[in-house]
Amino acid sequence: MATERLKEIARKVLSRDDVTCLIGYRRGSYGFRISPCFLTSPDEAEQLVISPLCLHNLATYLTAENIGPLVKTKDEKKNKIALMVKGCDSKAITNLIAEKGIDRESIIIIGIPCTGVVDIKKLEARFPGAVAPATVEIKDGMWVVAIEGTTVAIPLDELLAEKCKRCKHPTPLVYDELAGDPVAGKEDAYDDVKGLETQAIEERLVKWQEELGKCIRCYACKNVCPLCYCSDCALDRLRPQLIRRSVSVPENLLFHVTRSFHLAGRCIACGECERVCPQGLPLMELNRKLAKDVQEIFGYETGLDPEAKPILSTFTIDDTDEGIL
């Protein structure tokens, strides 16, 4: 079983002298919730879980403020962090390596071939109120939900997270260990941005003013994003102040549009921003549209190759100067 294989790998990794901690998933505090965890000794490996409820992209902790986890050790030999990554998460790492945000040598990647994660909002709406641990597994092409003594089988598409419906790389693209058998990818025709593309400009404006008007600027989207890791973000700086602190449609628009442009060619579509948004903003529509544009214009797909040159931070002599002068 994948979980047993994972625990074995984790024990081995945590026994190494150069590993500070292993970032993985454990059972959360109630119901369907899973929690990120930071393990430091081999006997803690028993806590680890793999399940369709492991939603978080743990790569974000590699670049979290104060860079990496708040570990106790000051031991210089312990200079590596191990972490569990799904296919989409691995693309964040690939891209971080490509843009030299992290050093490949400083991490040990435990790859988790992913059969898809659930949309937790849909799941909890369907099975509200779980306090005792509840689980979800995939069996015979169905979700099997076990909650408070009963099990229910549900067709995959009813609870599958949106991003998983067109995942091309469910098996991590970069890893040191793989806990499970590779999973085949799906086609991605960017169907999810067709709505936005076909919408009239005026309607788009109305829609996005309404959507972004709901934003309360909690910055969960920014903080959960593995690629939003500038140590001094221009969007909350006071000198110069690009965006006012007041929460209003124009300021919110400026915040989200600037952020999504900064993610153009960098977003790896893990969908974490949209998952964590407490106000339900459809942020991935913006990010995915820009990813599509980058792919069409430059033939560049983000997160596939750690050696790739980040497309929007490089230039060639043949580049036109349109839009610059």
Partner 1 sequence: MNNPYIPYLAMVKDIRPETAGERPINTYTLVFKDESVWDVFKNRPGQCAMVGLLGVGESMISICSSPTQKGYLQFSIMKMGKVTSAIHELEAGDTMTIRGPYGNSFPVDDWKGKKILTIGGGIGQAPLRPIINYVLDNRKDYQSLQLIYGARTAADLVFLKELQELQQANGAQVNFSVDRPEDGWNGYVGFVPAYLMDLKPSPENTIAITCGPPIMIRYVIENLLKLGFKDEQMYTTLENRMKCGIGKCGKCNVGNLYVCKDGPVFCYTRLKTLPPDME
Partner 2 sequence: MDTVILKKENLIGFLKSLNAARLIAPAAKKGTTSFEVIDDLSSVTLDLNDYMASPKKAVFPQTETLFAFKKQNGNLTIAPADRAQATVVFGIRPCDARSFQILDSLFRGDFNDPYYTNRREQTLLIGLACKEPTNRCFCPSLGGSPSSAEGLDMLVTDIGDAYCINVLTDRARSALSQSAPLLAEATKEQRAQKEQADKESLAKIRRHVDLQGMHEKLPRIFEHEIWMELANKCLGCGICTYYCPTCHCFDIQDEGDTSEGRRIRVWDACMFEEFTRHASGVNPRPSRAERLRNRVMHKFTYYPLNLGTIACVGCGRCIELCPVNEDIIEILEKVKAVHE
- Please state, in angstroms and rounded to a whole number, the distance separating the CA atoms of residues 266 and 256: 15
Residue 279, interface with partner 2 (CB under 8 A)? yes
Q: Residues 48 to 77: which contact partner 2 by CB under 8 A? A: 56, 60-61, 64-66, 69-72
Q: Within the chain, where are the H helices?
A: 2-14, 87-98, 120-126, 156-159, 194-198, 201-213, 220-224, 249-262, 272-276, 283-298
Nearer to partner 2, 92 or 311 (CB): 92
Contact assessment for residue 97 and residue 104, using Cβ atoms and an 8 Å cutoff: yes
- C-alpha to C-alpha distances, 54 to 12, 85, 204, nearest whole angstrom: 22, 10, 34
Closest among 65, 67, 45, 61 to 93, alpha carbons compared = 61
Decide which of partner 2, partner 1, none touches 280; Cβ closer than 5 to 8 Å per partner kind.
Answer: partner 2
Through-space distance between the first and last CA atoms of the chain, rounded to whole angstroms: 59
Residues 194-233: x where in contact with partner 1 by CB under 8 A, - otherwise, as a string? ----------------------------------------
Of 60 and 171, which has the nearer Cβ to partner 2? 60
Residue 236 touching partner 2 (CB under 8 A): yes
Does 239 bind partner 1 (CB under 8 A)? Our answer is yes
> According to the binding rule CB under 8 A, does residue 245 interact with partner 1?
no
Residues 102 and 62 sit within 8 Å (Cβ to Cβ): yes
8 A C-beta contact, residue 268 and residue 93: no
Cβ-based nearer residue to partner 2, 71 or 152? 71
Q: What x-and-dash track marks residues 104-143 binding partner 2 by CB under 8 A? A: ------------------------xxxx------------
Position among 11, 80, 217, 266 found at the interface with partner 2 (CB under 8 A): 217
Residue 34 found at the interface with partner 2 (CB under 8 A): yes
C-alpha distances in angstroms, 79 versus 38, 59, 93, 99, 190? 15, 16, 17, 20, 40
Under the criterion CB under 8 A, does residue 276 sit at the interface with partner 2? yes
For residues 113 and 93, give the distance between their C-alpha atoms in angstroms, rounded to a whole number: 15
Q: Rule CB under 8 A: which residues touch partner 2? A: 28-31, 33-38, 56, 60-61, 64-66, 69-72, 128-131, 216-220, 222-224, 236, 244-248, 272, 275-276, 278-280
Provide the binding-site residues for partner 1, judged by CB under 8 A: 238-239, 241
